[in-house]
Structure 1
Amino acid sequence: MRRIPLLRRVWLAALFAGGLLANSALLASGLQVAPVSLSLLATQNADGLWLSNTGDTPVHAQVRVYHWTQEGGEEKLTPSRGLLTSPPMLEIKPGDKQLIRVIRVGAPPNGDGAVEDAYRLAIDELPIDAQGKKGLQFVLHYSVPVFVQPAGMVATSPTLDWSLQREGKHVVLQVANRGTGHAQIAGLGFVNRAGQRIQINDGLFGYVLPGATMRWPLKQPATDFTGGGTMEARINGAQATQAVSLADRAH
């Protein structure tokens, strides 16, 4: 199993080592992915996404599929053949683009209590010979969520239970999803009873899959949440609010 980031990221582990940022040229990649997520209806066997190269050198990439679950508040990925991608390895010339087909294998989720299934496509740029050029090479990693809707359901939706739990001087936000579909949480903020807003996160905060419970430690001190208030966030793009109070975590 493998943990996965919930946002596209650039691997820069060695970028600042030894002051290289100031002393070396950077070889930037032009790999782009669109769209940033896919949702397959139960009646839909395949969909696709585009990989494009906006740079001036060829891009080599590979695509792998993982079944995505959340257990014990952790993201977990397991290699899976529930979805197949074609092609799994590719080269894209400068200015070109390549369609990646995402194909569902087998039946969609079905039966009593069936909920949306979730996968992640790990799209990794592969390092290539920089043709004698000096400098560091960016290597991009994209993580694209793919959701498969259950049979017989027109649309899935999340049903969320929010809570704030005190742990020492800090707070953990816990969100449980009792619904049939995922919740993408973004633009998270807290408004206390005096009307003061505390911005927790501007962009994507995280996902909660159906049947899962996720917990996130917050950077803000517990005193910011004393007295309770209202959590505000965009859930799957729609603005939502939820009254919450601060509780000590039971041991």
Structure 2
Amino acid sequence: MRLAVLAAFASAMFASLASAGSLQVAPVIIDVAAPGAAATITLRNSGKAPLAAQLRIYRWTQDGGEERLDSTEDVVVSPPAVELRPQQDYVVRIVRITKQPVMGEESYRLLVDELPDPLQTSGVQLVMRHSLPVFFDGPGASPAEPVWTLARSGNGLTLSVANHGDRRIRLSALSVGEGGHAVSFGGGLVGYALGRSTMRFATKAKGQIAAGGKIPIKGNTEQGSFNALAVLQAAR
């Protein structure tokens, strides 16, 4: 089954502790290095009333510059549902159960949904979804190898990154161009380029990007700040 990527897809990746209403989750990025096959997260009810949460995990891929979440039996989350008393913590396990070896880096998304209170029959209930990235690294997984391409598209610009390495790239504070002519793709988290995948990021700002040649890029990854060059595609 394929899921549509939700508007809150990256809502839980901006800090070391994610919070939706009274439900808190930590950590918000799970990275399991070989030969490991399991990790844990902690759910906490910081509110004054009981709450229930549902947990589901999906394989996360990028196809043609688009995000995909697909059902999987390779990784399980236990338990899949939790009831939390006020101020209670609960440890949840994430386990890769398939016997197939990890090739490169496998990417998953853990969705943690705070469920509506069935006893509240009036008014509007605000509940949130946490979407946590989960990575399993194989032995000898190669580092990310990004190749950048910039194109004018409609009323803005599209920046494509083809990652020829095994490991993902987590991109934030991404911009192209220099000085007063720089065009921003977002000051915070922009997104990921998964291993052996291509991802596209768009902005409505055109900027004054000169035709031809290579365009400077700068931003941040998990390893720190970086500078690179993008090939500017000719307008079609």
TM-score range, shorter chain: 0.7 to 0.9
Q: Structure 1 residues 145, 68: CA separation in 2 closer, same or farther (over 3 Å shift)? A: same
Q: Cα distance, 1:199 vs. partner?
A: 3.2
Q: Cα distance, 1:246 vs. partner?
A: 2.7
What fraction of aligned residue pairs are identical, expressed as a percent? 32
Paired residue type of 2:10: L
Q: Structure 1 residues 109, 230: CA separation in 2 closer, same or farther (over 3 Å shift)? A: farther
| SS of aligned partner of 2:208 | helix
Aligned equivalent of 2:123: 135
CA contact (8 A) 1:29 1:138 kept: yes
Aligned equivalent of 1:119: 108
Aligned equivalent of 1:17: none
Paired residue type of 1:181: R
* Structure 1 position 219 matched with structure 2 position 204: yes
Distance in 2 (CA, whole Å) between partners of 1:85 and 1:115 is: 22
Tell me the alpha carbon deviations over residues 158-210 of structure 1, each in whole angstroms, 9 at most, x when there is no partner.
11011101224421110110011011111112232x56444331111011111
Matches within 5 A, 1:61-210: 61-107=53-99, 109-110=101-102, 114-131=103-120, 135-150=123-138, 152-153=139-140, 156-192=142-178, 196-210=181-195
Q: Structure 1 residues 108, 209: CA separation in 2 closer, same or farther (over 3 Å shift)? A: farther
CA contact (8 A) 2:147 2:230 kept: no
Distance in 1 (CA, whole Å) between partners of 2:57 and 2:155 is: 40
Q: Structure 1 residues 103, 129: CA separation in 2 closer, same or farther (over 3 Å shift)? A: same
Q: Cα distance, 1:119 vs. partner?
A: 0.7
Quote the RMSD (CA, aligned, Å): 2.1
Q: Cα distance, 1:7 vs. partner?
A: 1.0
| Structure 2 unpaired stretches of 5+ | 13-19
Q: Structure 1 residues 177, 51: CA separation in 2 closer, same or farther (over 3 Å shift)? A: same
Q: How many residues align?
A: 224
CA contact (8 A) 1:179 1:210 kept: yes
Q: Cα distance, 1:50 vs. partner?
A: 0.7
Structure number with bigger Rg: 1
Q: Cα distance, 1:45 vs. partner?
A: 2.2
CA contact (8 A) 1:149 1:156 kept: no
| SS of aligned partner of 1:56 | coil
